[in-house]
Amino acid sequence: MLEAILFMLGLGAGCGAVLSAASKVFYVYEDPRIAIVEGHTAAANCGGCGYAGCSAAAVAVVAGEAPPSVCIVAGPETTANIASVMGVDPGTAEPLLSYNTCDGGDRADNKFHYMGIGSCQALSSLYGGQRECPIGCLGLGDCVRACAFDALIIGSHGYPVVNEHKCVGCGACEKVCPKDIMEIKTMSQRLLHLNQFDDRIAPCQQTCPAEIDIPKYIMQIKHGDYEGAVNTIRERNPLLLSCGRVCPHPCEVKCRRGLEDQAVSINQLKRFVADHEMNSGSRLPVSVAPSTGKKAAVIGGGPAGLSCAFFLRRLGHDVTIFDDNPKLGGMIRYGIPEYRLPKEVLAWETQGILDLGVEHKPNVKLGRDFDIGALIASGFDTVFLGIGAWKDYTLGVEGENLKGCYTGINFLTNFATWQQEKPNDPRPFVGQKCVVIGGGNTAVDCVRTLVRLGAEEVSIVYRRTRTEMPANEVEIVAAEHEGINFVFLAAPTKVIEDEDGNATGLEYLKMELGEPDDSGRRRPVPIEGSETVLEIDMLITAIGQGPDVFFKEENKMLDADLKLTRWSTIDCEDEIALQASIPYIFTGGDSATGADLVVSAIGAGRRAARSIHMYLAGEDLTPPEKTLFTNNIPESIFDSVPGIVKEKRTPMPELPVDERIKSFVEADLVITEKDALYESSRCLNCCIYCYNPDNTT
Amino acid sequence: MGYMEILIGGIFVNNILLAQFLGNCPFLGTSKKMETAVGMAMAVVFVLVLAGVITWVLYAFFLVPFKLVYLRTIAFILVIASLVQFVEMFLKKSIPALYAGLGIFLPLITTNCAVFGACILNIDKELNFMKTLVQSTAYAVGFGLALILFAGVRERIILARVPKPLQDTSIGLVTAGILSLTFYAFKGMI
Ligand SMILES: Cc1cc2nc3c(=O)[nH]c(=O)nc-3n(C[C@H](O)[C@H](O)[C@H](O)COP(=O)(O)OP(=O)(O)OC[C@H]3O[C@@H](n4cnc5c(N)ncnc54)[C@H](O)[C@@H]3O)c2cc1C
Ligand code: SF4
Ligand code: SF4
């Protein structure tokens, strides 16, 4: 007995001594975070995460190979704890969810009859599957079998449907799917995605500058899920109420239904759900990733700045918007008139963005009240410059600065400021015989505003013809209805004055169309000796605008470094990354492109937010090679779409002309729920190769 | 018994997993993914050979002379556990590449009954030192072989239509049983 005890004691002591000596001799530094992270896991050693036990998972987390949400047994609290230990981009601390990217399913025709074993992997090895569509779901449900959490079923249309309440984001479906249809992503990852050549996306979504998943939200409307539709739009566009009203919907040009019938009225559907949310009285919750502690400054609270701020905030950064004007909205508040976009609606929309925790510093102007150096010194990590294009181009003709002569942006913003903020001041001057020079939205908004203000005769003078007018088609039509006089093919040469220095006439040369120029438009050439005079008492020049970059002169440091293009827009090498010549400065919207559209500014705001997010994480900003940007996927552009039964497009309801020209009440109205359901059923739910010709789903 | 027979016998005929049913927990636990299975197999080869040799030395030079053979089980457990810890520390410092390959699996087999069982079997068969070495290697390789084969099968099973109640471990055990039966074909080879 004694020997036994002694022997065991000896053996134990021996082993202990050797080990303790060894732990000294063989000591290697190990990241203490590994132990802490391991402590936060469920300690079940279940291997469900794909690593050999909890400690292996912890090592992977610390090595940055696994997300903080690695432990599938523990809940979101654990994820947050691990993320806080790691101090990592908590974007990845959000729950991962599985998304199905193909909802074509059974509608694609079969190339051959398959009788082999019921596995997508087996089937895909036979010519990539039996369906005509080479990229779509095979429908045999490998993903469903791989899911250990019962979160997937093959729905009645032959593609997998995710039950978001059961999905834990383990990624098993993504791994087994031979067609890469199942995607596991956090909301942040979804917000950062740019359209790519290999995405399964409809022509309309490819064309939308904000890259909204159009068929998805239209399907949601069709199924009565208005909230889902709003959320889908908000993943790409925070200004749905405004866009729903003023967007000239470039997407509809590429709408497949438009090839055989009239295009789906995509934008009216957007406005319908956006108005539905506003009128419901409550805002839908918008998810925001856990805070990263990084500070981003956004200069300019127009669509570009608002969009950038919105997405940066959703990605977890602290955002402050600095704006020259007292209220948010930029050109859509101070340029686009009340009758097109009621400011109460805009205020509701911008308040929603501020409610996410975005700060707004009004009435401060870059170059006058602060400079970028000061922002960086006070702890901002990056700066977004979205200062728009507020400086009117001048005509360069004699007399354009006479009394009674104005420029477009100046006139509109002065009037808007008076209307919105200083209604007790005297009203800005309005003439009786007004001429507006230009053919863009600014010119048309000027004439329609003048009509509402009681001007007797209002004309638009444009160098080219109606087909070349860059203004939104609906605006031009409305202006025609409202009795505007159009003078086409006219080149102003001189403003004529009376003895008091007031403008009294506009002299112009008539033009004719000559050879096409670089842009393919026929260049107007003046006809010698065709001078004509229009009688006026007010002239507004609205021939385009560029960014006001006066702050460069005020600020010596940036003066040297921040590069501008020759149109005085802010130079960024890459239109997708939108990084300016100073690495921590990003730009987008009108200040980067010159005067453009609201949706383009919104899309640019998101791309800039993406770049800023990656810049803050120290990642390379070069966009993926497959980025689609404004291009189309060639295979997805058809010549014809067989199987379409013509169905009339829902017309836009508007106030009668004699009623609307007397006031600034909103002129265009929202479609009814019945019309929205009808219009949504016109959508073919297109993908690259297939669509629903007979509206079955 | 020649070395060749010991080798073949250890790997196939008396496969430690499929014929002797030792080490079933890592067999089921780490066979879901091929990568993990390979790591585990390597770690077992490493530890089992070392443990086999050291326990033989302990037995032959301490337990037998001091007439303490009845302490075999507890002494072996202690020694194997310490050995694994020691080897882990040693590798981490000296051969980081190997540690990175096996690292995480080493501590997992402290409690692997295949390791312990193999050591006991060596003693019971009264093998000499060299034969112990060969026998341990054979058992370890047999373990690795079975594990890797099984992982290959299980990776496929994920894609098969398995009735709900039989999924995962249940079908794993059924498959293990069938695999084990196939190994019975080696009976009679030696
Ligand atoms: C009259 C008019 C009608 C239009 N109609 C349409 C339409 O129907 N559909 C459509 O899609 N697009 C239309 N547009 C174009 C659209 O309004 C712009 O493309 C869009 O607003 C650009 O957004 P942005 O954020 O780049 O710039 P902006 O909206 O111009 O915003 C810039 C912001 O920066 C602020 N800012 C500027 N300089 C400074 C500074 N130095 N310091 C601090 N803040 C500064 C400004 O106060 C402003 O808030 C119209 C434009 C005009 C002028
Ligand atoms: S998503 Fe992939 S795995 Fe799932 S049914 Fe479709 S093709 Fe098969
Ligand atoms: S039919 Fe629908 S999915 Fe197809 S292009 Fe038109 S709006 Fe987009």
Q: Is residue A291's pLDDT more than 90?
A: no
CATH 1.10.15 for domain A37-92, yes or no, is yes
For residue A90, pLDDT beyond 50: no
Q: Which CATH number fits domain A203-284+639-682: 2.40.50.140, 3.40.190.10, 1.10.1060.10, 3.40.50.2000?
A: 1.10.1060.10
- Mean pLDDT of the A15-25 span: 87
B89 vs A16, A26, A176: nearest CB: A26
Query: Does any domain span residue B49?
Result: yes
Cβ neighbours around A369 below 10 Å, total: 12
Among candidates A615, A156, A549, which has minimal Cα distance to A383? Answer: A615
What is the predicted pLDDT for the residue at A87? Answer: 64
Q: Which amino acid is at A56?
A: A
Q: Is A4–B71 a contact, with Cβ atoms under 8 angstroms apart?
A: yes
Q: Determine the Cα–Cα distance for residues A341 and A338; give it in Å rounded to an integer.
A: 5
Closest Cα of chain B to A687: distance in Å? Answer: 28
Q: Are A303 and A276 in contact (CB under 8 A)?
A: no
More confident residue, B95 or B156: B156
Q: How far is the CA of A628 from the centre of ligand 3 (A)?
A: 18
pLDDT grade, residue A696 (50/70/90)?
Answer: low
- Predicted local distance difference test score (pLDDT) of residue A201: 92
Separation between Cα atoms, residue A11 and residue B190, nearest integer Å: 39
B165 pLDDT more than 90: no
- Other CB atoms within a 10 A radius of the CB of residue A283 amount to 13
Here the tokens at position B37 are 């299975």
Predicted local confidence at residue A582, as pLDDT: 87
B118 in a structural domain: yes
SS3 B55: helix
Would you say residue B105 lies in a domain?
yes
B190 pLDDT more than 80: no
User: Residue B189: inside a domain, yes or no?
Assistant: no
CB contact under 8 A, B79 and A11: yes
Neighbours of A52 (CB within 10 A): 24
Instruction: Please name the member of A4, A12, A55 whose beta carbon is closest to the beta carbon of B104.
Output: A55
Asked if B75 is an interface residue toward chain A (Cβ–Cβ < 8 A), one would say: yes
- Interchain CB contact of A279 with B (< 8 Å): no
Q: Does the beta carbon of B94 lie under 8 angstroms from any beta carbon of chain A? A: yes
Q: Do residues A212 and A201 lie in contact, with contact meaning Cβ atoms separated by under 8 Å?
A: no
- Report the amino acid identity of residue A473: E
**A538-541/A182-185 β-pairing:** unpaired
Q: What is the CATH number of domain A97-185?
A: 3.30.70.20
Average pLDDT, chain B: 85
Nearest residue (CA) to ligand 1, atom 20: A598
Q: Worst-scoring range by mean pLDDT, A269-278, A583-592, A617-626, A668-677? A: A617-626
What is d(CA A321, CA B99) in angstroms, rounded to the nearest whole number? 51
A560 vs A267 pLDDT, higher one: A267
Q: How far from each other are the two terminal CA atoms of chain B, in whole angstroms?
A: 10
**CB-CB under 8 Å, B168 with A52:** no
Residues on chain A touching B79 (C-beta within 8 angstroms): 11, 15
pLDDT in tens, A610-658: 999 999 988 888 888 899 988 899 888 888 888 888 888 998 888 888 8
Atom of ligand 1 nearest to the CA of A599: 11
How many C-beta atoms lie closer than 10 Å to residue A566's C-beta?
Answer: 6
pLDDT above 90 covers what percent of chain A? 45
Structure confidence at residue B31 (pLDDT): 83
Residue of B94, B158, B162 to mutate, interface with A, max A Cβ within 10 Å: B158
Q: Are A594 and A588 in contact (CB under 8 A)?
A: no
Q: Which helix (H) or strand (E) holds A578?
A: none
Cβ-based neighbours of A214, under 8 Å, separated by 6 or more: A202, A204, A205, A208, A251, A266
The whole-number average pLDDT for the span A553-580 is 82
CB atoms near residue A662 (< 10 Å): 11
Domains contained in chain B, number: 1
In this prediction, residue B103 carries a pLDDT of 56
Model pLDDT for residues A485-520, shown as the tens digit of each residue = 999 999 999 999 888 888 899 999 998 888 887 777
The answer to whether position B98 is within a domain reads: yes
The one-letter amino acid code at A612 reads I
Residue span(s) of chain A under CATH 3.30.70.20 come to 97-185
A67 touches A36 (CB < 8 A): no
Q: Is residue B190 part of a domain?
A: no
Pocket lining: A686 vs ligand 3, CB cutoff 6 Å: yes
Instruction: Kindly list the residues from chain A whose CB atom is less than 8 angstroms away from the CB atom of residue B33.
Output: 50
d(CA A578, CA A297): 15
By the 8 A CB rule, do A686 and A643 touch?
no
Phi, psi for residue B165 in degrees, rounded to 5? -65, -20
Q: Using the beta-carbon criterion (under 8 Å), do A176 and B86 form an inter-chain contact?
A: no
Q: pLDDT band at residue A324, thresholds of 50, 70 and 90?
A: very high
Beta strands A433-437 and A382-385 are unpaired
A448: which residues sit within 8 A by CB, 6+ positions away?
A337, A339, A475, A478, A479, A482, A484
From CA A275, how far away is CA A256, in angstroms rounded? 26
At residue A623, the pLDDT reads 87
Cα of A46 to nearest chain B Cα, Å: 8
A8 Cβ under 8 Å from any chain B Cβ: yes
For ligand 3, the distance from its centroid to the CA atom of residue A583, given in whole angstroms, is 39
Q: A5: nearest CA in chain B?
A: B71
Helix H segments across A296-337?
Answer: 303-314, 331-334
- Lowest mean pLDDT across A39-48, A406-415, A537-546: A39-48
Tokens of A42: 């469920």
Cα→Cα distances A251→A473, A602, A654, A697, Å: 14, 15, 22, 22
Cα A297 from Cα A299, distance rounded (Å): 6
For A58-72, A331-345, B11-25, which range has the lowest pLDDT when averaged over its residues?
Answer: A58-72
Q: Which has more confidence, A37 or A202? A: A202
Residue where the block lists tokens 């084969």: B149
Q: Helix-strand-coil percent breakdown of chain B, rounded to 5?
A: 75, 0, 25
Task: List CB contacts of A145: < 8 A, sequence separation 6 or more.
Answer: A176, B158, B159, B160, B161, B162
Residue for token pair 């354009």? A400
Residues of chain A with CATH 1.10.15: 37-92
Q: Is the pTM of this model over 0.80?
A: no
Res A697: pLDDT: 47
Chain A positions in Cβ-Cβ contact with residue B73 (cut-off 8 Å):
none
Give the domain A392-546 fold.
Answer: FAD/NAD(P)-binding domain (3.50.50)
Q: CB count, 10 Å around CB of A535?
A: 11
| pLDDT at B143 > cutoff 80 | yes
Residue B133 belongs to domain spanning:
3-184
Considering only CA atoms, which residue is closest to atom 21 of ligand 1? A331
What integer is the mean pLDDT of A111-137?
87
Given a cut of 60, whether residue B121 has pLDDT beyond it is yes
Query: Residue A539 and residue A407: Cα distance in Å, rounded?
Result: 8
Please tell us whether the domain made up of A295-391+559-616 is placed in CATH 3.40.50.2300.
no
How many residues are there in chain A? 697
CA angle B180-B185-B187, nearest 5°?
100
The stretch A359-369 carries a mean pLDDT of 89
Question: Are residues A22 and B30, on separate chains, in Cβ contact within 8 Å?
Answer: no
Average pLDDT over chain A, rounded to whole?
Answer: 88
Q: Would residue B94 count as lying in a domain?
A: yes
Cα–chain center distance at A109: 34
Q: Which residues of A touch B70 (CB under 8 A)?
A: 4
The pLDDT of residue B101 = 62
Q: How far apart are CA A29 and CA A376, in angstroms?
A: 37
Q: Strands A97-100 and A182-185, how do they pair?
A: antiparallel
As beta bridge partners, residue A539 has: A405, A435
Which carries the bigger pLDDT value, residue B164 or residue B10? B10
Two structure tokens written together for A495? 């403003």
pLDDT tens per residue across span A434-457: 999 999 999 999 999 999 988 889
Q: How far is CA B182 from CA B9, B34, B152, in A?
A: 15, 21, 16
A416 with A335: CB under 8 angstroms?
A: yes
> Can you list the pairs that A114-119 forms with residues at least 24 positions away whose Cβ atoms lie under 8 Å?
A118/B161, A119/B159, A119/B160
CB A380 within 8 A of CB A319: no
* Rounded Cα–Cα distance for residues A48 and A28 (Å): 29
Q: Is the pLDDT confidence value at A92 over 60?
A: no
Q: What would the two tokens of residue A263 be?
A: 């295009």
- The pLDDT, as a whole number, for residue A665 is 87
Give the closest residue (by CA) to ligand 3 atom 6. A255
Quote the CA–CA distance of A158 and A140 in Å, as a whole number. Answer: 8
Is the separation of the CB atoms in A162 and A76 below 8 Å?
A: no
CB under 8 Å to A503, separation ≥6 — which residues? Answer: A399, A402, A403, A404, A405, A495, A496, A497, A536, A537, A538, A539
pLDDT top residue among B14 and A290: B14
Instruction: Read off the pLDDT of residues A293-311 as tens digits, 9 standing for 90 and up.
Output: 899 999 999 999 999 999 9
Q: How far is Cα A533 from Cα A497, in angstroms, rounded to an integer? A: 12
